[in-house]
Structure 1
Amino acid sequence: MTLEHYAASLRPIAVADVSTQDVLRALQPIWRTKPETASRLRGRIEAVIDSARVAGHIDDRAPNPARWGGHLEMLLPKPAKLSRGHHAAMPYQEIPAFLARLRQAEGMGARALELVILTAARSGEVLGAVWPEVNFEARIWTVPASRMKAAREHRIPLSEAAIKLLAAIAEFKIGDFVFPGQKPGKSLSNMALDMTLRRLKADGVTAHGFRSAFRDWAGEETHYAREIAEAALAHQIGDKAEQAYRRGDALEKRRALMDDWAAFCGAS
């Protein structure tokens, strides 16, 4: 996605002809506003060019125009870094008003962001969701291990609000993806969530940050055990021995938590 969207200006250029200025034109628009994305993008551009060199498409003696050390570091400020796991988040107190505005917004991106908020799931898990993962009768969305950051299956209890949202989307089902993109067989991209936030003037807020808001709410406003809130976020807690003995996923306790979250958000 980063190469397709943020490096779009490079795609028409023969890889052997990509210059330092070409790379800078791709990086500079997001270098300060999206430092982590920009840093990943630079690394991926560098990898593509290195791969082309190994494949014989570029002269071995030609320097990589996307390399950082001794090259782009002289032209770009050192990228700002967010602490690991921290994303710009909306204060949880503001979410009910924001969700009310979000529900008035049109488009599949708005609906995907609504599900991100109601389930506290990662945006990638929501955007990659397919209909066979959703059990309407049991009110459970099962994300397979292959799509989870920790490579473990995650069952998400769906509040009544989340079920109503998914049922409304299902009436216009196109293919397997819950949130289909414009290209056949592709899901909606993360750009759709960014654009939705931009349209709603949620400056500086990221889709991932809603997970932080949920966690803050659970810790500040409820009496649910820390383990339940962390399980809702699919976070592993404790050492390996403790994880081995904790085989259950506290689904019903998490269901009560997610129902309360939906009620707090004004979505129940």
Structure 2
Amino acid sequence: MANRLTARKVETAKPGKYSDGGNLYLIVSGTGARKWVLRFTWRGRAKEMGLGSAASVPLADAREKAASARRKIAQGLNPIEERKRDGGIPTFGETADDVREALSAGFRNEKHKAQWKSTLETYAAPLRTKPVDTITTDDVLAVLKPIWTTKAETASRVRGRIEKVLDAAKAKGFRDGENPARWRGHLDHLLPKPSKLARGHHPALPYEEVATFIADLRQREATAALALELCILTAARSGEVLGMQWSEIDFDKKIWTVPAERMKAGREHRIPLSTRAIAILRQLEKLKAGNFVFAGQARNRPLSNMAMEMVLRRMKIEDATVHGFRSSFRDWAGNVSNFPREITETALAHVIGDKAEQAYRRSDALEKRRKLMEAWASYCEPKKAGNIIQIGRRARA
């Protein structure tokens, strides 16, 4: 058969539909996800039978699965129903992987896609090897109860993702009956309501103590210490700072532009840089090595995501986290400054209002935020001149 697929073609095919003959198709989505589908007619109606992800089912295995299904059709049997009777039900793990690939086009970024995968692999691990049609309410509760009150937000996400996987299994004919992970009218009778659970908050240093903290921080000759100070001054998330690249910095306009794929909201975010923030970047520019501003030990890799937390530990700061400095900034802005709340929320890269309001709010109020961030930097500046770091001092990782 001249037009049959090759293993190389399966790996490199661009988005589209590719025939291997005999109604076996490779479907490649816009995100690059690849799956096998057998198309056939059953009692006058077109049917599609999924044969798995091309990432886990090689071409030869897909052909064998398709050939087996065609033999059943020739015998007057529906291969989808026969697969259920033959015990050919996929596991929860297989179904979860397929659902994740199918939904990946709608994910905000690669980080969201990775989180979707990691939460199910970590917390729903006991379910992964179970046939998807055998999962019960007790199975779901066994996964959720250990984290329901200690990791409330994570547990809520895990429950929702399990529900989605089991809904997909039912839609494909692998399950019957109600979804055991459904909240309303089911698990809400067996678990405390999420709204009543204690949400995890990041401990924050009181804003009144930030200047004193920075004075101590500047005594530490380390790249991670400079990263932490910049993180505080920009009110950015630690991952945004550690992933900062030189190409994102406009020194002339004093703007740091964080690309959408590195933002939690999946939208590009411009951050006005205060005078002190620019000074930190100029210091690091003299030591420039590779694409990352805060370069790590490995070639062209940033500092570890624990680098700034380790600075806090070495400074014996036990009642604050790196992320908590965003709360310090917010509290200062609300209690001390006269800047409007929406300017502060925009500085924190929070989504403001509903979709209609967001559509009209096209400006990111950059210049208003510039005044805010300069005021914050001034507030954070240690009062004793002796605590100011020498810009020419070499930073060490």
TM-score of the aligned structures, taking structure 1 as reference length? 0.72
The reply on whether 1:263 has 2:334 as its aligned counterpart is no
The reply on whether 1:150 has 2:265 as its aligned counterpart is yes
Q: 1:106 to 1:251 in 2, by over 3 A?
A: same
| CA–CA distance in structure 1, aligned partners of residues 125 and 289 of structure 2 | 34
| CA–CA distance in structure 2, aligned partners of residues 257 and 224 of structure 1 | 7
Q: 1:191 to 1:223 in 2, by over 3 A?
A: same
Q: 1:136 to 1:203 in 2, by over 3 A?
A: same
Quick one: higher RCO (CA 8 Å, sep 6+), 1 or 2? 1
Aligned to 2:301: 186
SS in 1 for 2:244: coil
Map 1:1-268 → 2, pairs under 5 A: 44-45=121-122, 70=142, 79=150, 84=199, 86-266=201-381
What do the CA deviations read for 1:112-132 (whole angstroms, capped 9, x no partner)? 101110100011100111000
What do the CA deviations read for 1:21-67 (whole angstroms, capped 9, x no partner)? xxxxxxxxxxxxxxxxxxx988654578987x69xxxxxxxxxxxx9
1:184 maps to a residue whose letter is R
- Deviation of the 1:237 alpha carbon: 1.0
- Deviation of the 1:182 alpha carbon: 1.6
SS in 2 for 1:116: helix
| CA–CA distance in structure 1, aligned partners of residues 289 and 200 of structure 2 | 34
| CA–CA distance in structure 1, aligned partners of residues 342 and 200 of structure 2 | 18
- Deviation of the 1:84 alpha carbon: 5.0
| CA–CA distance in structure 2, aligned partners of residues 93 and 127 of structure 1 | 26
SS in 1 for 2:335: helix
Q: 1:186 to 1:49 in 2, by over 3 A?
A: farther
| CA–CA distance in structure 2, aligned partners of residues 136 and 258 of structure 1 | 16
RMSD: 2.9
SS in 1 for 2:236: coil
1:145 maps to a residue whose letter is A
1:129 maps to a residue whose letter is M
1:79 maps to a residue whose letter is T
1:139 maps to a residue whose letter is K
TM-score of the aligned structures, taking structure 2 as reference length? 0.50
| CA–CA distance in structure 1, aligned partners of residues 277 and 261 of structure 2 | 23
- Deviation of the 1:191 alpha carbon: 1.1
Unaligned runs of 5+ in 2: 1-116, 131-138, 154-197, 383-387, 389-397
What do the CA deviations read for 1:59-105 (whole angstroms, capped 9, x no partner)? xxxxxxxx99548978x996365855731100000000001101111
Report percent identity of matched pairs. 54
SS in 2 for 1:142: strand
SS in 2 for 1:185: coil
- Deviation of the 1:165 alpha carbon: 0.3
- Deviation of the 1:185 alpha carbon: 2.7
